[in-house]
Amino acid sequence: MTERLHIQNLYKIFSNTPAAALEILAKGGDKNAVFEKLGLVVGLNNVSLTVPKGAMYMVMGLSGSGKSTLARCINRLNEPSAGKILLDGRDIVQLGEEELREVRRTRISMVFQHFALLPNKRVIDNVEFGLKLRGVAPAERRRRAEEVLSVVGLGRWGHHFPHELSGGMRQRVGLARALATDADILIMDEAFSALDPLIRTEMQDELLRLQRSLNKTILFITHDFQEALKLGTRIAIMSEGELVREGTPQSIVLEPGSDYVAAFTQEIDRARLFDAGSVMRAAEPILQSERGTLVGEAGGAGFVLDRDGKVLGALDAEALGRARDSGEMGTPSANYVSVASSAKLLEVACNYRDGRPIAVVDEQGKFVGSLGADDILARISSTTPKTIPAGGRHA
């Protein structure tokens, strides 16, 4: 099973008697309709989504969009009004008090926006907190806490109090506390939002680094679209308690699908988001000879590949035209740039030298496609036409 969390038609009404509100929503009324008729606040309106195992799943939205409510429904700090939350196929909403506590202690842990550390306990005791609640023996939990503290780079800080640490360090403690329980699902509720920009970037990189080795399923709540793009393997965008768009970062930027989403994607630095592999063009084989295979496309450059698909050299457009006409391969020059298909466009642009063709290669160094400067420019500047207001197209 590759899906870890599956949320089905989840509703949250902030009321003890949500039935009437649910009825209005079922009939197609929205958040405002419920508020006008009943004075109740709708937190979540029919949200369904699937979080794959090992994903860094970003839930993004402005304040009041229901993103934190969604996160809190998953470990039931907020009780859902209707719907299902399946954790490996088991519905969390139906769990009894005892079972829920067990799930919270062993399966789902959480990192909070304002750290929520115990000010009266030392860092190490804070990290041990979850294990202590679970009843792990003192020596064992101390060993585990020290281990996790050094993972987040605070090995020497165990015996200090939280107020002696900077914001970034405190959030590392929060992260260590969440990691210590070995829960495989991590809910990070605006975990980096309270940090200043430099520290936030540092923490994001740290989280990406940790995630490579930990491979947890992370549900990350944020209001920062840049952060969502940087960290996320998938992004869900929420508005007014509803899920408005869900997909990979790249697909959301390419096809926002609504003005609301387009407003976020407009300002995005595409050069950092898209990689060479996503814009490259596949080249067709043109000539086959004992020296290798010539691949290329009309009007573009050609590359000569050896038997393993490695690039031997390049032909510029002119030479490629001659080769096509004469059937003779000519002499390939070393005048080309080779980039990995996972390289971001920004990186490609940095390596680009005037006039040289770009070969895109995979991890083994095999040629997978070619790239021109115009491809890069087109992708960096592309905006989806239908989302642009009418006046904006004349530029």
% helix, strand, coil for the chain, step of 5: 40, 25, 35
Taking CA atoms, 8 is separated from 3, 47, 368, 383, in Å, by: 13, 7, 40, 32
In angstroms, the CA 79 to CA 340 distance is 47
Nearest-approach distance from CB 170 to other proteins, in angstroms: 11
Residue 308 interacting with other proteins (CB under 8 A): no
Nearest-approach distance from CB 9 to other proteins, in angstroms: 24
Contact 235, 252 (CB under 8 A): yes
- Binding to other proteins (CB under 8 A) within 37-76 occurs at 72, 75
Contact 239, 43 (CB under 8 A): no
Tokens of 185: 């699902």
Residue 168 interacting with other proteins (CB under 8 A): yes
In angstroms, the CA 116 to CA 25 distance is 35
Residue 134 interacting with other proteins (CB under 8 A): yes
Residue 169 interacting with other proteins (CB under 8 A): yes
The site map against other proteins for 86-125 (x = CB under 8 A) is ---------------xxxxxx-xxx-xxx-xxxxxx----
Residue 161 interacting with other proteins (CB under 8 A): yes
Residue 330 interacting with other proteins (CB under 8 A): no
Beta bridge partners of 294: 287, 304
Residue 13 or 188: which CB sits closer to other proteins?
188
Residue 173 interacting with other proteins (CB under 8 A): no
Number of residues that bind other proteins (CB under 8 A): 37
Tokens of 214: 């930990």
Residue 120 or 150: which CB sits closer to other proteins?
120
**Cα end-to-end distance, the chain, whole Å:** 49
Tokens of 209: 């680094």
Nearest-approach distance from CB 198 to other proteins, in angstroms: 12
Residue 164 interacting with other proteins (CB under 8 A): yes
Residue 356 interacting with other proteins (CB under 8 A): no
- Closest alpha carbon to 59 in 239, 272, 255, 267: 239
Residue 258 interacting with other proteins (CB under 8 A): no
Residue 216 interacting with other proteins (CB under 8 A): no
Contact 7, 44 (CB under 8 A): no
Residue 45 or 109: which CB sits closer to other proteins?
109
For other proteins, which residue of 130, 232, 256, 300 counts as binding (CB under 8 A)?
A: 130
For other proteins, which residue of 65, 69, 181, 370 counts as binding (CB under 8 A)?
A: 181
Q: In this structure, what are the phi and psi dihedrals at residue 17, rounded to the nearest 5 degrees?
A: -125, 80
Contact 297, 281 (CB under 8 A): yes
Contact 371, 358 (CB under 8 A): yes
Residue 192 interacting with other proteins (CB under 8 A): no
In the complex, the residues that contact other proteins under the rule CB under 8 A are 72, 75, 77, 101-106, 108-110, 112-114, 116-121, 129-130, 132-134, 160-161, 163-166, 168-169, 177, 181, 187
